[in-house]
Amino acid sequence: MERDDLIVNDSYALNNTHSEEQGVEIRKKIVKVTVLLSVITAIEVGLGIMIKQGTTLWPVVKWSFIVMTLIKAFYIVAVFMHLGDERKSLRYVIILPYALFIAYLLFIGITESNYLNDIWLRFKP
């Protein structure tokens, strides 16, 4: 049996090459996404260092962490897992259940944390 990844006429063969222009575009895309992810991570770290828990800005910082993490996850999936190159309907079929699940987890986490905070405040001397 012949390995299917070594067939020369196959579009997914190991011997396939692309032009230099395509290579430049691919490298630009990778550098763009890497810089974007690095900047978002630097902003998250900077906010975590500058703004401490318990301050009035802390809820805003927590929500910004959630939003920035979701943006990073989107770019990782879209670019490095090649989901951005797929048809729109396939992207929605894959991403929509995860988006709903993340929204559900956020709802449960926030609801439970508010409940525990109320309980904690009742028994605090």
pLDDT in tens, 90-109: 888 888 898 899 889 989 99
Same structural domain, 107 and 52: no
* Same domain as 32, residue 79: yes
What pLDDT was estimated at residue 11? Answer: 55
In which band, very low, low, confident or very high, does the pLDDT at 5 lie, cut at 50, 70 and 90? low
Does residue 64 sit in the same domain as residue 15? Answer: yes
> Do residues 95 and 79 both lie within one domain?
no
Do 53 and 104 share a domain, yes or no? no
C-alpha span between 32 and 79 (Å, rounded) = 10
What values do phi and psi take at 14, rounded to 5?
Answer: -70, -25
Identify the pLDDT of residue 20. 81
| pLDDT, tens digit, 9 for 90 and up, residues 7-37 | 555 555 555 677 788 888 888 988 998 999 9
Place of tokens 């951005």: 84
Rounded CA-CA distance 67/122 in Å is: 32
Number of structural domains (the chain) is 2
**Which domain covers residue 27, as residue numbers?**
1-83
pLDDT of residue 18: 72
Tell me, yes or no, whether 79 and 117 share the same domain. no
Mean pLDDT within 115-119? 87
- Would you call 47 exposed, middle or buried from its count of C-beta atoms within 10 A (0-12, 13-18, 19+)? middle
List pLDDT tens digits, range 49-100.
Answer: 998 888 888 888 988 998 899 889 888 888 878 787 788 888 888 888 988 9
Q: How confident is the model at residue 1 (pLDDT cuts 50, 70, 90)?
A: low
Whether 23 and 55 share a structural domain: yes
pLDDT of residue 94: 84
Q: What is the pLDDT, as a whole number, of residue 117?
A: 86
